[in-house]
Amino acid sequence: MCRNNPDILAHVEQKHQRNVVVVSTGGTIASRWQGTGYAAEAPGEEVLSAAPVPDGVTVRVVDLFTVNSPRLTTAHQLAVVHAVREVLTDPAVDGVVVTHGTDTLEETAFLLDLYHRDPRPVVLTGAQRPLDDPDGDAPGNLYDALLTASLAHGAGVLVVFDGLVHAARGTVKTHTLAADAFADPSGAPLGKVGFGTVTPLPRAPRREGLRLPDADAATPRVDMVMHHCDADPLLFDAAVAAGARGVVLVATGAGNATPEFTEAVARAVRAGVLVAVTTRVPAGPVTPIYTNGGAVDLAAAGAVLTGTLRAGQARIAVVAALLSADGPEERTALLRGIVETPAAARPGPDVG
């Protein structure tokens, strides 16, 4: 590890007190037994009380809402972005932690990443076991997130889970129940947390943050449709007919469907609908290799290929483009810019 690099994280022992704000949004980390299952109910202060706070860190809690993350809407996610932006207006704040349900954490993390324009880190974490589980993972994940948020200046928006630090972009939930629930299937973790230290993190390659819409801005309908054997464009066309301003086609392989889907994409694009193509394959980029309904034809019909972004984050990219640009051409151009991976972001550093 290059410990003389000025951009790396420092050891936990610092001379000044570091201030971290926790934005609490619910999820399993805030959940208790409800008689038939678990649901989020604990406020942020109670969630925080379950975890030790790193030495030299002072914590303040903002209770934004308490929701199981499958129930989140784009409006909820934009509220998180606005809350983080508001917290960072205080120059005394060194970093932010967002506690979040794991089901859609990857989507909120990427949305935050697209609008983040501050060198102070934003760290998302959660838990796979509920708050009242005596062997739960909430205390460890929260401690690690607080430590990382206090030290990771310049690292951007991060996901900290099970002792690993991931970039928001590309990181998805890869296991329904396991403690090590998050990874970037096409990349590597950025670092590790352990024994009061965080391994060196590179400064994140940053683009200028997108123009943040007003807090009460209307949110666009963006649907996802999956291709499979025997699939036809019925559901794709239905999404457009229902008023979708964007559609994500979850294709097969490197981004392939059928000529019928290509025709549906072309119709949608002509109608001003923003179309993105991702893949149901866990790892690797969407690439224009095949014709006859493949990614070559889908791109020619006007769809934007999303690289290594998978379905949830591809949809967030479409939402952000619709919210942050005016007109079909501008939105398409912005979406192309969003899905391009910054050159310095891959491959991930050795965290061994």
**Which of 165, 198, 231 marks a domain boundary?**
198
Same domain, 177 and 252: no
Q: How many distinct structural domains can be found in the chain?
A: 2
Same domain, 33 and 74: yes
Range of the domain at 294: 222-339
Residue 4 lies in a domain: no
Of the candidates 218, 82, 244, 102, the one whose C-alpha atom is nearest the C-alpha of residue 160 is 102
Same domain, 246 and 313: yes
Binding-site residues from annotation = 69, 102-103
Same domain, 188 and 286: no
CA 191 – CA 10 distance, rounded (Å): 13
CATH number of the domain that residue 233 is part of = 3.40.50.40
- Do you find a cis peptide bond into 347, omega within 30 degrees of 0? yes
Same domain, 26 and 144: yes
CATH number of the domain that residue 101 is part of = 3.40.50.1170
Same domain, 309 and 228: yes
Same domain, 164 and 275: no
CA 317 – CA 143 distance, rounded (Å): 30
The catalytic position among 25, 28, 74, 104 is: 28
**DSSP code of residue 202:** P
Report pTM: 0.91
Binding-site residues from annotation for substrate = 69, 102-103
**Predicted pLDDT at 204:** 64
User: pLDDT by residue (tens digit) across 336-349?
Assistant: 999 997 654 433 33
User: pLDDT by residue (tens digit) across 91-132?
Assistant: 999 999 999 999 999 999 999 999 999 999 999 999 999 998
28 is catalytic: yes
**Predicted pLDDT at 341:** 74
Residue 330 lies in a domain: yes
**Predicted pLDDT at 343:** 54
Rounded to 5 degrees, what angle do the CA atoms 54, 192, 340 make? 120
Which residue positions in the chain have pLDDT lower than 70? 1-15, 204-206, 342-352
Residue 55 lies in a domain: yes
Residue 207 lies in a domain: no
Determine whether 172 is exposed, middle or buried from the number of CB atoms within 10 Å of its CB (0-12, 13-18, 19+).
buried
The catalytic position among 66, 74, 99, 102 is: 102
262 is catalytic: no
Same domain, 179 and 317: no
344 half-sphere exposure, CB direction, 13 A CA radius: 8
Residue 269 lies in a domain: yes
Same domain, 139 and 246: no
Same domain, 173 and 104: yes
Burial call 28-62: b when 16+ CB within 10 Å, e when fewer: bbbbeeeeeebbbebebeebbebbebbeebebebb
Residue 12 lies in a domain: no
Residue 102 lies in a domain: yes
Same domain, 145 and 70: yes
Residue 123 lies in a domain: yes
CA 214 – CA 244 distance, rounded (Å): 21
